[in-house]
Amino acid sequence: MITARLTRRRGWLWLCLAMAMLTWALPASAATTCTPAQLTQAGQFGVAELGHGLTRVSAELSPASVEEVAALPESAFVPLPRAGVHVDNHETVWLRLCLQRSDTARRDWVLTLLPAYIGHIALYDVQEDGYPARVRTLAAARNDSDISYRGAAFLLSPAVDSVTVHYLEITTPRLAIDLLLFEHTAMPRFVAAEYAGFGLYFGMMLLVVVINLFFWRGLKDPLYLRYALALLSTALFSLVVGGYLQQMVPAFAAWYYPTSRTLYAASAVFMTSFVLLAFRTRLYYPRLYQIGRLLILGFIVLGALGASGVQPGFDPVRAFRLLTLIAILSFGGMMLHALIRHRSIRVYAIAFMPLVAGLLAVAARAFNLVDALPLVDHLPNIGALVHLVLLNLVLARRAGRTEQKRRRAQDAALQAARAAERALEARVQERTRDLDVANNRLRVEVAERTDAQGRLREALESERRALQAQRQFVAMLSHELRTPLAVIDTAAQGVAAEATIEDESVHRRVSRIRRAVARLIGVIENLLADDRIASPSQLRLRHCDMSHILHERIASNADGRLHFPPPAETLPVHVDPDLIGVVVANLVDNALKYSPADTPVDLSLHREPGDAGEDHAVITVRDRGPGVPPEEAEKVFEKYYRAADERSIRGSGLGLYVCREIVRLHGGDIALLPAGEGGGTVARLRLPIASSPRQ
């Protein structure tokens, strides 16, 4: 009996020892009692009420790991306020989720956390061997979600006969967080409805953007362009912050912060500028107009900082929220005032009210001013949809009024045009009568002018025939005179050769004869040259050596006064040698004729570089005569012009005119310059040097 009792006591001792060891081996949280959320039958859309099953670690505590959280006593966990889960700037919040399902409830449930831009989420499961974690981190592009969703979505399987405990670690900028628990089978229906709603919202935004762009292009009103840009940037911002783009392109998570801040700044800038223009703030609210411009500048600065990735010395998210709150309160008050005071912009205020209400709800939720609202991030989209419908009705009405004004203006212009047309018809009839009278006078005048034109044509034809006959006569006369003049010159040379040195009178008379013959030949050559330069097609151009032309022309000059040193090089030119010879002969003859008989005449030839890279052959003829006055340096090149102090010397006034015309035909120039020291005149002739002979 005593042995049996000892045996029973030892059994109870071993049982108690085993229970103590089991209790020590289990995680501390398992021993902690918590009130679970009873999962029996889900409500609307398959969403379960979490109630007291969701608690958070007291804000006074700062555990560093899940093990420290699990070791906390029950008093460390406090119920959530009615405003829900709020995270201050980059603080870490620990939540405890206690679940237990009934026998009739489904086994698998899905826990979702929104919004999609929560920085870091870690869900810890309590197991015997530790606390395995599923993590979703935005910056590191890590997503351990069990279900493809725009936010975090973790699959849970609560137990029936015991409480299942999960711990949540959340770190993010200042944010209000929504936690929803779905039946696993209800999740696809909810996702489909949510994505269909966003697709409707995004599609309507893009449609309205296109419509406003068409309005802007047709009406040239900047109001439509600003609204289109505001809607486009807002739609893209919703696509990014809603998590839809990240779900489609997971690698985009690394670019989330700069992209979202840039798009938000762009939408704020364009929407603010649209509001300033639509509500005529410069006219009705000048101070608010200045505030709006400062807000636009602030959003531009924040957007530039966000796009560049520069980390400023302040919290950019808080700055964005502050500017947004100022804009909402300022423009919201303005819209309320416009509803009462300004009828012309009242419709815009009504259209903006749903959007302002949605934004105010989000702002109040973000600043922990109202109770938790499920899926609060959809409120701006819902408000935007209502706003789109109302504002586009307003804009369509504005476009219709603009079209009516345009039509009325067209009708007024048409009536004015018709009145002007009737007045014009009366004036046309009057003018027609006047024109009939003028036409009769004109017919008489035309007949008279036609008769005069016929007579003028006959006179011109007679003059042309006379001119042609004159040219033929000059050519014939020149040809007929050359032979006797050549005979006279030859005879004079013979007489001079037969006379003795003592017969000075004979040599003097022979010299006078030869000079008279040379003068007549020069006149003939000038007349023929004048005829040829009138028809440039008669030029006979060929490559020649300029020094050769000069030697040929001065060889017949028996006067020893002409000095011509030979040039240092060959200067090829592309000219008519006969006409250029006439130019040289005229210049030399003028120099000999207008300078004293005992003074020399210098003739020179050299190369001169040109400004455009091409060289010129320059011929200078210098005399020691009285010179040409500067005021007559250009007039002496006119046809038949002679200076007043030169009329005592024989001449036709044709030589220098012929020289200039010939030189211009060859692309050169000629000028008379003062000789400087010693007096006299320098005749300077320039002709372009040919690069290579033509084949």
What pLDDT band is residue 647 in, cutting at 50, 70 and 90? low
So where are the chain's domains? 1-28, 32-185, 201-400, 535-688
How much is the mean pLDDT over the chain? 79
Compare 377 and 509 and report the one with higher pLDDT. 509
What pLDDT band is residue 368 in, cutting at 50, 70 and 90? low
Question: The tokens of 206 are what?
Answer: 């893009």
What pLDDT band is residue 97 in, cutting at 50, 70 and 90? very high
300 pLDDT above the threshold of 70: yes
Condensed to tens digits (0 to 9), the pLDDT of residues 312-338 reads: 777 787 888 889 888 888 888 888 888
Give DSSP secondary structure letters for 607-618. Answer: EE--TTS--EEE
> Which residues lie below 8 Å from residue 265, measured CB to CB, with a gap of 6+?
299, 300, 302, 303, 304, 306, 320
% of the chain with per-residue pLDDT over 70: 76
Distance CA 194, CA 187 (A): 10
Give DSSP secondary structure letters for 408-421. Answer: HHHHHHHHHHHHHH
Q: Which of 328-337, 363-372, 494-503 has the highest mean pLDDT?
A: 328-337
134 pLDDT above the threshold of 50: yes
Q: Which of 50-64, 124-138, 212-226, 631-645 has the lowest mean pLDDT?
A: 631-645
> Which residues lie below 8 Å from residue 370, measured CB to CB, with a gap of 6+?
83, 361, 364
Condensed to tens digits (0 to 9), the pLDDT of residues 39-71 reads: 886 555 566 778 888 999 988 888 989 999 999
What integer is the mean pLDDT of 541-552? Answer: 85
Hey, which residues does 99 pair with through a beta bridge? 37, 164
pLDDT of residue 169: 93
pLDDT of residue 150: 87
pLDDT of residue 677: 75
565 pLDDT above the threshold of 90: no
Task: Spell 464-499 as b/e; 16+ CB within 10 A means b.
Answer: eeeeeeebeeeeeebeeeeeebeeebeebeeebeee
What pLDDT band is residue 272 in, cutting at 50, 70 and 90? very high
Crossing angle (nearest 10°) for helices 346-366 and 379-498: 110
What integer is the mean pLDDT of 16-35? Answer: 46
C-alpha closest to that of 586 among 498, 631, 541, 525: 525
Q: Which of 212-216, 372-376, 531-535, 592-596 has the highest mean pLDDT?
A: 212-216
pLDDT of residue 24: 36
What integer is the mean pLDDT of 487-512? Answer: 70
pLDDT of residue 17: 43
Structure pTM? Answer: 0.52
C-alpha closest to that of 167 among 27, 364, 25: 27
416 pLDDT above the threshold of 90: no
479 pLDDT above the threshold of 90: no
What pLDDT band is residue 649 in, cutting at 50, 70 and 90? low
What pLDDT band is residue 585 in, cutting at 50, 70 and 90? confident
What pLDDT band is residue 229 in, cutting at 50, 70 and 90? very high
Asked if 260 and 237 touch (Cβ cutoff 8 Å), the reply is yes
pLDDT of residue 301: 92
Condensed to tens digits (0 to 9), the pLDDT of residues 613-634 reads: 688 889 999 988 888 888 887 8
Asked if 585 and 525 touch (Cβ cutoff 8 Å), the reply is yes
23 pLDDT above the threshold of 50: no
Q: Which of 381-395, 436-450, 524-538 has the lowest mean pLDDT?
A: 524-538
Name the residue with tokens 């030189």.
663
What integer is the mean pLDDT of 240-244? Answer: 87
What pLDDT band is residue 421 in, cutting at 50, 70 and 90? confident
What pLDDT band is residue 135 in, cutting at 50, 70 and 90? very high
Task: Spell 46-68 as b/e; 16+ CB within 10 A means b.
Answer: bbbebeebbbbbeeeeebeebee
What pLDDT band is residue 190 in, cutting at 50, 70 and 90? confident
C-alpha closest to that of 567 among 587, 553, 546: 546
Give CA torsion, residues 308, 313, 314, 316, to 10 deg: 0
pLDDT of residue 695: 40
pLDDT of residue 148: 87
> Which residues lie below 8 Å from residue 520, measured CB to CB, with a gap of 6+?
481, 485
Cα atoms in the Cβ-side hemisphere of radius 13 Å centred on 199: 6
C-alpha closest to that of 587 among 566, 607, 571, 564: 564
Distance CA 192, CA 520 (A): 116
What pLDDT band is residue 4 in, cutting at 50, 70 and 90? very low
| Ramachandran angles phi, psi of 186, nearest 5° | -85, -15
84 pLDDT above the threshold of 50: yes
608 pLDDT above the threshold of 60: yes
What pLDDT band is residue 111 in, cutting at 50, 70 and 90? very high
Compare 576 and 95 and report the one with higher pLDDT. 95
What integer is the mean pLDDT of 394-410? Answer: 74
636 pLDDT above the threshold of 50: yes
Q: Which of 133-147, 357-371, 453-467 has the highest mean pLDDT?
A: 133-147
State which CATH number among 1.10.3470, 1.10.10, 1.20.1070, 1.25.40 fits the domain covering 201-400: 1.20.1070
pLDDT of residue 22: 36
* Topology agreement, domain 201-400 and domain 535-688: no
Q: Per CATH, is 32-185 categorized as 3.40.640.10?
A: no
Domain 535-688, what architecture? 2-Layer Sandwich (3.30)
27 pLDDT above the threshold of 50: no
State the greatest distance between any 2 C-alpha atoms of the chain, in Å, as a whole number. Answer: 197
Compare 7 and 416 and report the one with higher pLDDT. 416
